[in-house]
Amino acid sequence: MPPFALRHHYGWASELKLARARLNFSDAAIRAHSAAPEAALLHQANVSVAALAEAFRQAVQLGYPYSAVTIADDAQHCLLDNFVTQLCRMSGRQFPLVVVCIDLRVYALCQSLQRSGTAASLGNAAGSPLPLFCVPVQGAGAPRARDGHFGRSETKGGGSAIGRGGLRRTQERWYADLVWLKPALMWLGVALGLSIIWSDLDVLHVQSPLPAFRWDADAASMEWICETGQPNMASTGFGIVHPSGLAAAAEWARMRGVVYDRSHASYAKYNEQGALWLLNERARPRMQLYKCLPKDMFLSGCGWRIQPWRLTERHYWSLHFSCLRDKRRSMRQAGLWRPSRPGCAAGEV
């Protein structure tokens, strides 16, 4: 396989050669990843490892050794529209986005955003289009695990994090199925050699987060937005895992169903986020598995408030609209609800 021309490489120049060497999209590598236990949740959700690998390969072919990933289902189609539109408008360096589409409606929307030129015509302050890749689940319609639960999202309007329905919503089987795809998707991208950025759809980026990441394996192999008011409690709504974090990503992807001891029993209700907290406590040195992104620039949690002047003057980088009953209203009040489709802009869920 010829070396990739990584013209969009970001980070230390000394890592460029390593970045080229670690990327591997050979048929043998993809088959090995598909057979790995970390891919089990992808198979259960009917997500094609080969299709994901192809999306990542196309991103690398465009010169990016990193990519963002997100998941969208039918209940989140307007959030996806707004998320993509905001990415196109943010200032700074652009990055590719791979959208795993859980049902046909959101896949059609993703393709429409791709075809209509929304991602290309808006561009951003740097004048670069958004490389957008849509990966559908296999089969005709919403994916189902053998027990028939996967993809059944009856609750509407909640977005990707705790919203309408509160913490009880996170205990519903369909929600757990959805969020537990996160570590598996990140593991696959990292195993292929990329740095993988995860972003929930209720995380809106005012500025490109790329300059905020450390890009240094000795400093951090994982970086996450952390809860406001908490010392080191990552929110898995937004973060990055570098190839140096492959072992941790693999362990995280295998943790669904983990049994917590009494002192960590409360973590179970937070699904994949609680599992990451547990990994962080088990890490050596303890609590050093990941680093928190600057909390005054990356806001997350239930208690934060936007200061309009900081938004206007671009002091914020990314805002996580978590723990909110009406995310759309809060985004609109912040001037960050600007989806391209008229139905979404007018207030459709």
Q: How far, CA to CA in Å, does 252 sit from each of 45, 53, 186, 196?
A: 17, 20, 10, 14
The model's pLDDT over 234-256, given as tens digits with 9 standing for 90+, comes to 999 999 999 999 999 999 999 99
Q: Pick 133 or 287 by higher pLDDT.
A: 133
User: Interhelix angle for 246-253 vs 271-282, to 10°?
Assistant: 130
Task: Provide the pLDDT confidence category of residue 312 given band limits of 50, 70 and 90.
Answer: low
Q: How confident is the model at residue 140 (pLDDT cuts 50, 70, 90)?
A: very low
Residue 3 lies in a domain: no
What is the predicted pLDDT for the residue at 278?
96
Q: Tokens for 304, please give them.
A: 């934060």
Q: 86 lies in a domain?
A: yes
Mean pLDDT, to the nearest integer, of 88-95? 90
Residue 227 corresponds to which tokens in the numbers above? 């809860």
Find how far residue 117's CA is from the centre of its chain: 22
From residue 3, how far is each of 10, 16, 53, 95, 130 by CA, in Å? Answer: 17, 11, 17, 20, 23
Cα 270 to Cα 161: distance, rounded to the nearest angstrom: 10
CA angle 325, 272, 53 (to 5 degrees): 105
Which amino acid is located at 243 in the chain? P
Residue 6 covered by a domain: no
Q: Which helix (H) or strand (E) holds 121?
A: helix 118-121
CATH number of the domain bearing residue 201: 3.90.550.10
**Helix residue ranges per DSSP H, 139-255:** 166-169, 173-179, 181-191, 246-253
pLDDT for 108 equals 94
pLDDT at 268: 92
Structure tokens at 104: 């046909």
Could you tell me the pLDDT band of residue 19, with boundaries at 50, 70 and 90?
confident
Q: Does residue 260 contact residue 268 with C-beta atoms inside 8 Å?
A: yes
Q: How confident is the model at residue 58 (pLDDT cuts 50, 70, 90)?
A: very high
d(CA 241, CA 148): 31
| 121 class by beta-carbon count within 10 Å (0-12 exposed, 13-18 middle, 19+ buried) | exposed
- Greater confidence (156 vs 30) lies with 30
Whole-model pTM: value is 0.88
Give CA 286 to chain center in angstroms: 25
* 200 assigned to some structural domain: yes
Closest CA to 60 of 119, 104, 5: 5
Contact 290, 224 (CB under 8 A): yes
* CB within 8 Å of 316: residues ≥ 6 apart: 206, 207, 297, 298, 299, 306, 310
Question: What torsion, rounded to 10 degrees, do the Cα atoms 155, 157, 160, 162 define?
Answer: -80
Q: Within 10 Å of residue 297's Cβ, how many Cβ atoms?
A: 18
- d(CA 33, CA 22) in angstroms, rounded, equals 15
Strand partners, 67: 196
Task: Answer yes or no: is 5 within a domain.
Answer: no
Residue 153 lies in a domain: yes
Sheet holding 298-299, edge to edge: 203-205, 318-320, 298-299
Report which of 275, 330, 328 is spatially closest to residue 299, judged by C-alpha positions: 330
| CA-wise closest residue to 151 among 200, 101, 97 | 101
Mean pLDDT (whole number) for 275-303: 89
Band of the pLDDT at 152, cuts 50, 70, 90?
A: very low
Is residue 349 included in any domain, yes or no? no
Which residues on adjacent β-strands are paired with residue 205? 318
Structural domain count of the chain: 1
Q: Which helix (H) or strand (E) covers residue 100, if one does?
A: strand 97-101
Please spell the DSSP secondary structure of 223-257, one letter per residue.
EEEE-TT-SS-EEEEEEEE-GGGHHHHHHHHT-TT
- The residue range of the domain holding 30 is 13-344
Residue 128 pLDDT grade (very low, low, confident, very high; cuts 50, 70, 90) = low
Considering the domain boundaries, does residue 8 fall inside one?
no
Q: What is the rounded CA–CA span in Å between residue 293 and residue 182?
A: 19
